[in-house]
Amino acid sequence: MAVSGLIVVLGVVLGVVAGPSVQAATPREQTAVHRVGKGESLSRISRSYGCRIADLQAANGMGERTVIYPGERLEIPNCGPGSSSQGKSGKKNGPELVHHRVRKGESLSRIAQRYGCSPDDIRTRNNLRGSMIHPGMELVVPRGGGGKAAVEVKKGQSVGKPQRGSLTGGVQLPSDRAYYRRRTARAYGASHTVEYTRQAIATVRARYPKIHRLAIGDLSHDGGGALSGHRSHQSGRDVDVGLYYRRKPSGYPKEFAPGTAKNLHLGATWELVNALIGTRKLAGGVEHIFLDYELQGLLYKYAKEQGVKRSLLAEVFQYPRGKGHAGTLIQHVPAHHDHLHIRYKCPKGDSGCK
């Protein structure tokens, strides 16, 4: 046998023994959990999420196994830019996915219209045979591109400034098993404030289905205006949200609890923050997050360990450049060591919102 032929044979043998090289998925990439339905294949699920089969195998420690069973839970990696599912062109192989909890009165077509996709897209990604959905149901929904808002952003609701304003036609944050409303009379906000917040929490629950309920503090009064205990929260664009912990603190979620390096569930808390900052370029998305500088440091280090790009960390965190560093999305404010203060942007073109 010629030397070249021997080399080819050895290469084939070694390839069979070693198998394909699969890069392990990091916790940063995992964004959802999929329960395998009857008749589903790994190939079909991978296509639904815009991933490769190898991405799902790596994320779930499956090696080269392709056989899956009904009821099996699969971690779904984020197959967006920078993930292993990218082609050589650097473009992602599918649309951005969001998690939507069905509300009373919603239909599949209405949800599809909101997110800029088709009912068939939602049916395919959620293994639905028809159009029947029910309140409380969790759906994975492909979101349309072009910076389109994932929620309805209405003009004329938030009037004036957060420190001196009012709320017109605001909506109340609905009851939900994923969170606890500490004061329902103060749980009113602009539509996009409520919906973006609910979406972020749903994203955490999809990644950590057994995580405890999240404490929700004040948004605004129905009608807005001055709110005792706050300088802002007057125009429906502010919401105070608690943190996630390894073990639920005593009294939580009825009361906020200080976060520390020992008690914080950094994975779930970062998932919440990451979901929020993911809206920053969307209409009505997050404008600022106010958080204690030390807690910023804990989240910064965690995100860095997960491989989050330094450019994003520099855009988002003041840490490690100091409390006075300006221009970042997350800013230090005293007495914010036990919750996030989230402020959303005004609707584009709404001259009455400041």
Condensed to tens digits (0 to 9), the pLDDT of residues 219-251 reads 999 999 999 999 999 999 999 999 999 999 999
Determine the pLDDT at residue 95: 59
- Of 175, 100, 111, 96, which is closest to residue 137 (Cα–Cα)? 100
Last-in-domain residue among 83, 115, 143: 143
Cβ atoms of residues 272 and 198 within 8 Å: no
- What's the CA gap between 245 and 260, in Å, rounded? 9
- Domain presence at residue 235: yes
Task: Assess whether 138 and 212 both reside in one domain.
Answer: no
Task: Assess whether 121 and 169 both reside in one domain.
Answer: no
Task: Assess whether 214 and 312 both reside in one domain.
Answer: yes
pLDDT in tens, 324-353: 999 999 999 999 999 999 999 999 999 999
Cβ atoms of residues 346 and 353 within 8 Å: yes
Task: Kindly report the CATH number assigned to the domain that includes residue 111.
Answer: 3.10.350.10
Determine the pLDDT at residue 215: 98
pLDDT-wise least confident of 131-135, 153-157, 169-173: 131-135
Task: Assess whether 116 and 176 both reside in one domain.
Answer: no
Report whether pLDDT(7) > 70.
no
Instruction: Give the distance between the most distant pair of CA atoms in the chain.
Output: 88
Q: By residue range, what is the domain housing residue 266?
A: 158-344
On average, the pLDDT of the chain sits at 83
- Of 190, 274, 276, which is closest to residue 233 (Cα–Cα)? 190
Determine the pLDDT at residue 96: 66
User: What DSSP string runs through 202-262?
Assistant: HHHHHH-TTPPPEEE---B-TT----TT-SS--SS-EEEE---BSSPPTTTTTS-----TT
pLDDT band, residue 128 (cuts 50/70/90)? confident
Determine the pLDDT at residue 30: 39
Task: Assess whether 204 and 232 both reside in one domain.
Answer: yes
- What's the CA gap between 259 and 275, in Å, rounded? 19
- What's the CA gap between 238 and 236, in Å, rounded? 6
Cα torsion 70, 75, 80, 83: sign? negative
Q: What is the arithmetic mean of pLDDT over 137-166?
A: 80
